[in-house]
Structure 1
Amino acid sequence: MYIALPNQPDWPALIKSGSRVFLGSNAGVPNGLIDDLIKDSHGLHDIEIVHTLTLSDSRWVEPEYSELFKVNTLFIGSDKIRRAVAEGRADYTPCFLSEVHSLFEQDILPLDAALIMISPPDQYGYCSLGVAVDVTLSAVRKAKRVIAQINPLMPRTSGHSFIHVSELDACIERQQALPVLPDYEPDKKTERIGQYVSMLVEDGATIQLGVGKIPNAVLRYLHNHKDLGVHSELITDGVIDLIAKGVINNRNKTFHPGKTVTSFCLGSQRLYDFVHNNPHVEFYPSSYVNSPVNIARNHNMVAINSALEVDLTGQVVADSIGYQFYSGIGGQVDFIRGAALSPGGKPIIALPSTAKQGTISRIVPTITPGSGVVTSRGHVHYVVTEFGVASLKGRSIRERALELIRVAHPKFRAELLEKVREHYWVPHYQKDYPREVPELSPINVKTLRVEGQNYDLRPLNPADERRLQEFFYSHTKETLYLRYNHIPTQMTREKSCGLVSVDQSRDLALCIVKQYGSVSEIQAVGRYYLSNDGQSCEVAFVTRESNRGKGMAKQLLSEMANIAKQRGVKMMQAYVRADNKTMLRIFENASFVREPTEEPGEVMLRLSLESQ
C-alpha cells in the first residue's frame, strides 16, 4: 500500500513572526527540522520555542539566532540553555511534568506549530513518536500545525505513541542518529546509596527511577529482587538486564499488569533497539504516566528521585543552585506524591551527602538563599545518602533534624546540630550528634531473617530517642527487674536521649529494628561500654518479649563480639542475675565462661576474644 506524505515545509506559509512553536523532547529533538527552518527563515522573527529537556546541540539558543528565536524552556537540560537563562536570553517556566499538557490544552501557551521527530509510517500510514512520547503527543493534539522529521532510525514503540500521516501539515525525511548517553559508572559513594535504596525496595514493588549514577547504582542492587514492576516517566539501559533476568516482570502490578510503562527513554543504542517493536514496554503521554492518581494505582510504588540539597526540616531543592536555575521541576513531585498515595508506597530522595569534592554539605540547616523548594517537607518519606536512610514521615522538626544529620557527612554533623539550634528548638540535653560506625558493615546495616520476616540490625543513634522510649515502656515488670535489678518506672526523653547519644567509635550500641513502611519499632538492643584501658568491655542486651527465643539476642551478641575483636578489645564481660536463666544460657552458648564474684545473686561471665 502506497502512503502519500505531505510536502516539505514552506516555512513562511506555516509559521509567522511571533509564533509559538513546540520542539520535540528528550531523544526526539528534530534537529533536521530546526536546521531546515534556520536555512529558510528569511523574514521571520521572534519565534518562541517551547520545549522540555532536549538532548541536542541546542543550536536554536545560540546568540546568533536571538532575532529569530526566543526560547522558553520548561526544563533546563544543558549548559548552553542554562547559560542562556542566566544571561536573560532564554526563559525558564517551572511546571509539573504531569501538567505541561494543560498549558497547551487550556491555551495558556497556545501552540501555532509542533516540530516533532517520528518513525517512518507503516503500511496503514501510522508513524510512532518512538522514544519520546512524553509531552510531545499533547503538543501534537493541540498545535495548529504539525511538522515532522521522519527519521528511519526512530524506533516504533508500543502504547499511545502513534500519529497518522494525515495529521501532518508538512514533513521532511532525514536520517538522524539518536543521542546516546554515556555509561554512568557508579563510584563507591553512589554504590552505597544504591545499596541503601535497594533495601527499601521490597519484592513485588513497582519502581520509578531517573537517569544518572544513582539510578544506575540502584538498578545494580536489584538483581536479587523478585517480581518488580516499572511505572516511570523514563527508562534507561539498567532495566534491560533486569527484564531479561525476570527480576522485572510486572506480574504484581495493580495498574497495567504485565507491562513496563513509561513516557520516554534515554540511553544507548542497545536501549533504543530494545524498545523497538517491543510489546512489553508501553509508552504513554506524561499527562497519563505522571498523573499522581495513576501512579498511586500501583500498590507498593517506590519513587526514587534526586536533589541538589535538603534542609534539616526536609525541604528539597531540585531545580536551582542559589539564584541560578539548574534544571527543572520535571516529574519529581508527581511521583513523590503518587508514591505517598500508593498503598505501601515509598517516596525517596537519594543524593550524595556532599558536593564540590566533599567541600560542601548537601544536607543544610537552611536552604541556600535564592534556591526554590521543589518538593515540600510534607512530601518526602525517606532521604538516602551514602551514610544511610533518614525516615521523615511523622517526625517532628527536631527528629527530622537528627535523622538528616545522621545521613550527612560526618565532618559536617557537629556544625549542623549547632546551626539548627539557631532556628529551631533543641533541648539542652541534646548535646551529641550521630557519628559514623564504619566497622559495622560496608553499609552500616545488616538484614536479618527471623522466622520469615526481615529485620534491620544497625547502630542506635540520637534519632532513636522516641523509639527507645517506646521500647522501654513495652517491657514487663519482670523484664525490667531482670535487666536493671530493680523496676524503673520512668524513661524520660532526656534519659532516652542520653542512652541513644553514644560515641560509637568508643562504646557500642546496636539495635534490631522492624520496619513497617515509615514506622520503625525496636525489637532488641545490645550495647557494650569500653573500659578505661581499652582492653575490655562490659556487655548487656534486652529483647522485646514478643521476640524472645527467636535468636535476636544471639545475633546481637555475635555482632558485638565481632566488632569488639576488630577494634582490638581483648575481653568481653557481663553481669547477670543468677535467676535470669535465659540470659545466662545465651551467654554460655556464646562461649562466655562463669567467673567467681563477690556479689550474691549475681553471675559474672567472661569471653576472651584473643582465643576466638
Structure 2
Amino acid sequence: MTAPTHASSGFSLADYLRPHDTVLVGQAAAEPHELVAQLIDASQQIANLTVVCGYALSDDWKRVTRGKPRVATYSAHGPLRGLARSGEIDILPNHYSHFERLVTTGAFQPDVILLQLPPPDPDGYHSFGTSVDYVAKAAQAVPAAATAGSDRRGPIVIAEINENMPSTRTKWRLHHSQITASFTTDRPLEGTPARALSDTDHAIARNVASVVPDGASIQLGIGALATAIGRALREHRELRVRSGLVGDWLLDLDAWGALASGEDACVAGMALGSPELYDFVARHDRIRFMPITDLTASEALASCDPYIAVNSALEVDLLGQVNAEVVGGQYIGALGSQVDTFRATRIAPSGLAIVALPARSPKGATQIVSALSGPVTSLQSDIDMVITEYGVADLQGTTAAERAERLIEIAAPEHRDALREARRF
C-alpha cells in the first residue's frame, strides 16, 4: 500500500493524469475548486480527458473550450449553463440515484476521483462533509491508495483537505490510506447564489404550507422558492426533513421551533448555503447525511407519515407531466433527484408529490402549458399536486379532463383562455 502524499504548495494535478482518463469531481459545497482549476489547465496539454461532474459552482468551468476537457453532467446549473448554451457539455440523462448504482456496480468506473474533504479524525477517517453522494460512494469503493503514473491500476483519489469543511454525521467515510495524494487549504466554502424573495415566491410558499401538516417529513431542495417555503412553515411543529439537498431554510425551521427534536430530525444528502448552515450541520446530533438511495429506501421511509416531496419545474402540461430540464431548446435545469423523491412518496405510508412553480416565466410566458417544450422529467402518474401563486391543483384521483381544468385554474389569468382552446382532452 502506498502512503498518500501531502503538500500545501507546489501540488500539480497533472502529475496524476493520463490521456483518456475519466475524472469524477465532487459537487456543490464539496467541489474541490483548486483541483477543478488545475484539471482545466491540465486538459490543454493532456489529450482526451473526460470530466463527470454534478452541481458545479466554480467559475473555472467557464474556461472549458473545444472539448478540453469533455464535460459530462446531469445538471446545467450555475457556470455549466453557459457551457450548455455553447454546446460544451454532454448531458447524462439519468436519475440521480442511478449514478450511485453505476459506480457501485462498476458499470461506471472513473480513473481519477477529485474530492474536497474535512480533516481526518484521530483514526484517520475523513467524513465526506457537505456532500454524501455518488462521488462519495465511488471514492469509498477504492480499496487503498494506488500509485500514480502509467502503470496504475484502478481509480485513484486526489483530495483537497479543507479546514473549513464540516465533519458531518454519516456512516460513509474515507480512510486516509485510500487517498493517493492530497493538499491542505482553508478557503471558505461556497454557498448557493441568492436572490431576493418575490411576492410570487411568498404566495407559492403559502399555498405549499397550506397542504403540509404538522409532523410531516419534507423535501424542499434549495433556491429562493425553497427558502420562501421554509419561512412559510414557521408556525408548523415537529417537522422532519428528509431532503436530497438542504439550504438555509433548515436554520429557519430550527430557529422558529418548527424542526423536530431528537435523533434524525434532518437526514440529507447535501448541504449548500451559508457558513452558519455548515456550522449547524457539523454541531447538531439531529443532522445526518446519507446518499439518495439510502435516503429514499423503504425502511428509511417507514416512519415518514406523510412524506411530502416538493420540487420545482420549468413547465407542467395539462396532463401534469413535468419538464425540469429544457426551455427553448436549451438545457438549463437538471433531471436530478426529482423522480427519486417523488417516487419515495409512494413508498412511505402516505405522501404527496408536489410541483411548485410560478405561473409565469421571467419573460411572462405561461409555465402551465398545453404541451411540454422539453423532455418529460416526471410522469403524470408521479404527481399529486401542482402549486402556483394562484392556488393548488390537486390531481389525485382525477381524470385527464379534470386535471386539465384544475391546472388551467392555477395558470396566470391572461393565459387561461388560450390553454382551454389548446387542450386536447
Match of 1:396? Answer: 399
Distance in 1, Cα, partners of 2:302 & 2:313 = 22
Task: Give 1:200's match in structure 2, choosing from 200, 203, 211.
Answer: 211
Match of 1:209? Answer: 220
Q: CA deviation at 1:195?
A: 0.6
Match of 1:493? Answer: none
Q: CA deviation at 1:67?
A: 5.8
Distance in 2, Cα, partners of 1:68 & 1:7 = 27
Secondary structure of 2:210's match? helix
Matched, 1:233 2:244: yes
Match of 2:317? Answer: 311
Alignment of 1:290-305 (within 5 A): 290-291=296-297, 294-295=300-301, 298-305=304-311
Task: Give 2:409's match in structure 1, choosing from 406, 409, 418.
Answer: 406
Distance in 2, Cα, partners of 1:90 & 1:132 = 23
Task: Give 1:25's match in structure 2, choosing from 6, 27, 49.
Answer: 27
Distance in 1, Cα, partners of 2:39 & 2:232 = 46
Secondary structure of 2:158's match? strand
Distance in 2, Cα, partners of 1:42 & 1:51 = 18
* One-letter amino acid matched to 2:326: S
CA contact (8 A) 2:14 2:38 kept: no
CA contact (8 A) 1:73 1:93 kept: yes
* One-letter amino acid matched to 2:70: K
CA contact (8 A) 1:295 1:335 kept: no
Distance in 2, Cα, partners of 1:67 & 1:346 = 42
Q: CA deviation at 1:374?
A: 0.4
* One-letter amino acid matched to 1:346: L
Secondary structure of 2:288's match? strand
Extract structure 1 runs of 4+ deviating beyond 6 A.
Answer: none
Distance in 2, Cα, partners of 1:39 & 1:77 = 22
* One-letter amino acid matched to 2:236: H
CA contact (8 A) 2:62 2:80 kept: no
Q: CA deviation at 1:356?
A: 2.9
CA contact (8 A) 1:303 1:336 kept: yes
Match of 1:494? Answer: none
Alignment of 1:345-356 (within 5 A): 345-356=351-362
CA contact (8 A) 2:326 2:332 kept: yes
Q: CA deviation at 1:395?
A: 0.6
Q: Any unmatched runs of 5+ in structure 2?
A: 143-154
Match of 1:124? Answer: 123
Distance in 1, Cα, partners of 2:174 & 2:225 = 35
Matched, 1:139 2:142: no
* One-letter amino acid matched to 1:32: E
CA contact (8 A) 1:17 1:46 kept: yes
Matched, 1:364 2:369: yes
Identity over aligned residues, as a percent? Answer: 32
Alignment of 1:272-291 (within 5 A): 272-291=278-297
Match of 2:107? Answer: 108
- How high is the TM-score relative to the length of structure 1? 0.63
Match of 1:178? Answer: 189
**RCO higher in structure (CA 8 A, sep ≥6):** 2
Matched, 1:162 2:167: no
Q: CA deviation at 1:86?
A: 3.6
CA contact (8 A) 1:130 1:155 kept: yes
Q: Any unmatched runs of 5+ in structure 1?
A: 252-256, 425-612
Match of 2:47? Answer: 45
CA distance 1:141–1:387, change in 2 (3 Å): same
Aligned residue pairs, count: 408
* One-letter amino acid matched to 2:185: R
Distance in 1, Cα, partners of 2:416 & 2:302 = 36
Q: Deviations over 1:545-603 (max 9, x none)?
A: xxxxxxxxxxxxxxxxxxxxxxxxxxxxxxxxxxxxxxxxxxxxxxxxxxxxxxxxxxx
Q: CA deviation at 1:118?
A: 0.5
Secondary structure of 2:320's match? coil
Distance in 2, Cα, partners of 1:10 & 1:212 = 35
Q: Deviations over 1:32-60 (max 9, x none)?
A: 12334456668521111001111211437
Distance in 2, Cα, partners of 1:15 & 1:290 = 36
CA distance 1:377–1:250, change in 2 (3 Å): farther
* One-letter amino acid matched to 1:166: S
- How high is the TM-score relative to the length of structure 2? 0.90
Secondary structure of 1:263's match? strand
Distance in 2, Cα, partners of 1:210 & 1:309 = 18
Secondary structure of 1:354's match? coil
Q: Deviations over 1:65-89 (max 9, x none)?
A: x4641111122222x4223234332
Matched, 1:376 2:379: yes
Match of 2:70? Answer: 70
* One-letter amino acid matched to 2:52: V
Matched, 1:267 2:278: no
Larger Rg: 1
Match of 2:148? Answer: none
Secondary structure of 1:304's match? strand
Match of 1:540? Answer: none
Secondary structure of 1:307's match? coil
Match of 1:558? Answer: none
Match of 1:324? Answer: 330
CA contact (8 A) 1:45 1:67 kept: no
Alignment of 1:584-595 (within 5 A): none
Q: Deviations over 1:394-426 (max 9, x none)?
A: 111110011101111111111211111xx22xx
Q: CA deviation at 1:194?
A: 0.6
CA contact (8 A) 1:58 1:81 kept: no
* One-letter amino acid matched to 1:73: T
